[in-house]
Chains A and B, each alone.
Chain A
């Protein structure tokens, strides 16, 4: 059982990354009731944005110096793609039946993948992402990589900033109002179009941060990386209660820990040997989701019943 702290740490770090991506799903859903299936690809282009910044820097730049700029690159690329997606793919369909934007989102997801595959230099292969050199740290009996420190710091900082923004600023309050009742918000003089763009932009920025975390963690970025992670993050958003930003983070952490523990411990349950290990971790993650939705249809922290999700 001495691997428990390690598995928990792994789960929390992975979960923080899921949570950062899940924020984007949840915010957009909260405001326009759209599941933006292209969000995983917005995360993916962020990774390539960061990589591009690193590649244009003079070689031999220390990663610590480069990191802020790479983060900026990731955030800018993700943000621009997210905002452009809203402007050109979703806004024209604002009044359309619910299925139209969903199908558009899936199309956009494929288009973004293929664009990177086609036009990014050697984008059809996994590209090497720089990593911190040096040994890992021992924290409370768990080994933590240097690259993981980034997400351990970034996720709480991002969450606190977001919480502050939503509750304390005019734009944040306008966002809450738009989520509750767009028509009334319009009557009160809120520019709902601007708010929707803002929601897409914030979600995309968080995805950019998550992309840097992913790159530092695995040492590579590739054009398909957004697909599975996007699906997982969407699961996390539903688990936490879609439309609730804290729920997204919590859902991410719960999902990450569940996966780590499923990999580590399911096979130790008598009679469950063949259902354990890495091959089954996704199955257990979704079993957890189903259980939560059966018992609490609105998700862990959800306020509204996700009847349309």
Chain B
């Protein structure tokens, strides 16, 4: 039913937009300029639980903006494309969206590895790309961020999710300080996201005095971890940290416990999904962190949840719902500013102006305050640690990392 209604509304929007294409030729009264917001996420495939939440939340932001007349004289529409969590598909999608001159910004993608292939395309076409979920530091700060040589390579790239550097460090701090773990076994899936997260975890955990009793890399496609489990068992850790995503970490967690490693598995936001618990009968007690505060706990998110439920989407908003809403809203705010600065209509170089406006966006969104620093990173470093309890993720602890990290990093 949802698909049908989406199709019908999208169809209707396309029809209504047909007559009014044109950037600065304003028709008579009541006619609106159409602005398209592109979206790229894994709508199908293994990570589709997260991807569908992203698509729906962006749709919700667009619908709300249209309903409230957020930008006078502008009708927004969303063009969602599926990247199947594959970098090459993401690149094709970015190319396709950038080729449509009505597209003033793209929301997405979910995976950092996909983002790496999209950034270049977005940059060349001067179109803003804003991700609700990418956490790899390299995307904003260049590849030498570890040596503190931080350089912003892509002026059109922004994100509303805080980085792995922050998140992995938060996990390390949480493991040591709150969960009181002494010995960790670290596993990653060698992907951009997983390896980065595991590295940041390790750095912080050992800095505080924790011991890494062993480490292992697996292939993202692996579902059979019995050989790894035997090694972990021999190392006797108090916690196993996994840098990667839930399609692999679900089976890994279960096989660990089946194999006699009765300690929790801990991971980042790639693990924070209801599907993780579905794929893993022994998830009880496992930890995952996710960016922002749980939307359920934020006063600012109440309306988002109500709207989301009222819209009747059949998939949950999942980990990045709130973050996506904010990312989409940031684009809408940027367009609003551009239109306002140009006497109520879109300028000819709208894309360039939107990117400039993105740097100055500042509003209170679903996940907290939304604004971007000089790298395009979110200024909001709020992270939450969740634990599986009775088949549900339960929030255990939230903090702004800067305040949580007593070791006093800049």
Does B234 contact A3, Cβ atoms closer than 8 Å?
yes
* Residues in A whose Cβ lies below 8 Å from that of B219: 278-279, 282
Complex formed: what's the CA distance from A217 to B227 in Å?
13
**Is A2 part of the binding interface, using a Cβ–Cβ cutoff of 8 Å?**
yes
Does B259 contact A7, Cβ atoms closer than 8 Å?
no
Does B231 contact A128, Cβ atoms closer than 8 Å?
no
Does A278 contact B222, Cβ atoms closer than 8 Å?
yes
Partner of A125, one of B216, B275, B280: B275
Interface residues of B in 195-245 (CB under 8 A from A): 216-219, 221-231, 233-234
Interface residues on A, range: 35 or more
* Residues in A whose Cβ lies below 8 Å from that of B229: 10
Complex formed: what's the CA distance from A305 to B353 in Å?
68
The smallest beta-carbon distance between A99 and chain B, in angstroms, is 26
Does B251 contact A278, Cβ atoms closer than 8 Å?
no
Does B247 contact A126, Cβ atoms closer than 8 Å?
yes
Complex formed: what's the CA distance from A293 to B223 in Å?
28
Contact with B along A222-261 (1 / 0, CB 8 A): 1011001000000000000000000000000000000110
Does A219 contact B281, Cβ atoms closer than 8 Å?
yes
Complex formed: what's the CA distance from A43 to B190 in Å?
28
The smallest beta-carbon distance between B46 and chain A, in angstroms, is 6
Does B279 contact A128, Cβ atoms closer than 8 Å?
yes
Interface of A is mostly: helix
The smallest beta-carbon distance between A121 and chain B, in angstroms, is 13
Does A218 contact B251, Cβ atoms closer than 8 Å?
yes
* Chain B residue at minimal CB-CB distance from A138: B260
Complex formed: what's the CA distance from A224 to B260 in Å?
29
Complex formed: what's the CA distance from A281 to B216 in Å?
12
* Residues in B whose Cβ lies below 8 Å from that of A7: 227, 230
Does A228 contact B45, Cβ atoms closer than 8 Å?
no
Does A124 contact B44, Cβ atoms closer than 8 Å?
yes
* Residues in B whose Cβ lies below 8 Å from that of A218: 223-224, 251, 255
**Is B49 part of the binding interface, using a Cβ–Cβ cutoff of 8 Å?**
yes
Complex formed: what's the CA distance from A6 to B225 in Å?
12
Complex formed: what's the CA distance from A6 to B45 in Å?
33
* Residues in A whose Cβ lies below 8 Å from that of B260: 136, 143
| 22 contacting pairs across A/B (C-beta < 8 A) | A3-B230, A3-B234, A6-B233, A11-B227, A14-B226, A124-B44, A124-B48, A126-B46, A128-B279, A136-B259, A136-B260, A143-B260, A217-B224, A218-B251, A219-B279, A219-B280, A220-B279, A228-B221, A277-B228, A278-B218, A278-B219, A279-B219
Apart from A126-B250, A281-B227, what 13 extra A-B contacts exist at CB < 8 Å?
A3-B234, A6-B230, A124-B48, A126-B279, A133-B281, A219-B250, A219-B251, A219-B254, A220-B223, A222-B247, A228-B221, A263-B227, A282-B219
Interface residues of B (CB under 8 A from A): 44-46, 48-49, 190, 216-219, 221-231, 233-234, 247, 250-251, 254-255, 258-260, 275, 278-281
Interface residues of A (CB under 8 A from B): 2-3, 6-7, 10-11, 13-14, 117, 124-126, 128, 131, 133, 136, 143, 145, 217-220, 222, 224-225, 228, 259-260, 263-264, 277-279, 281-282
| 10 A-B pairs with the lowest CB-CB distances in the bound complex, closest first | A279-B217, A263-B227, A10-B226, A278-B218, A6-B230, A124-B44, A260-B227, A3-B230, A218-B223, A3-B234
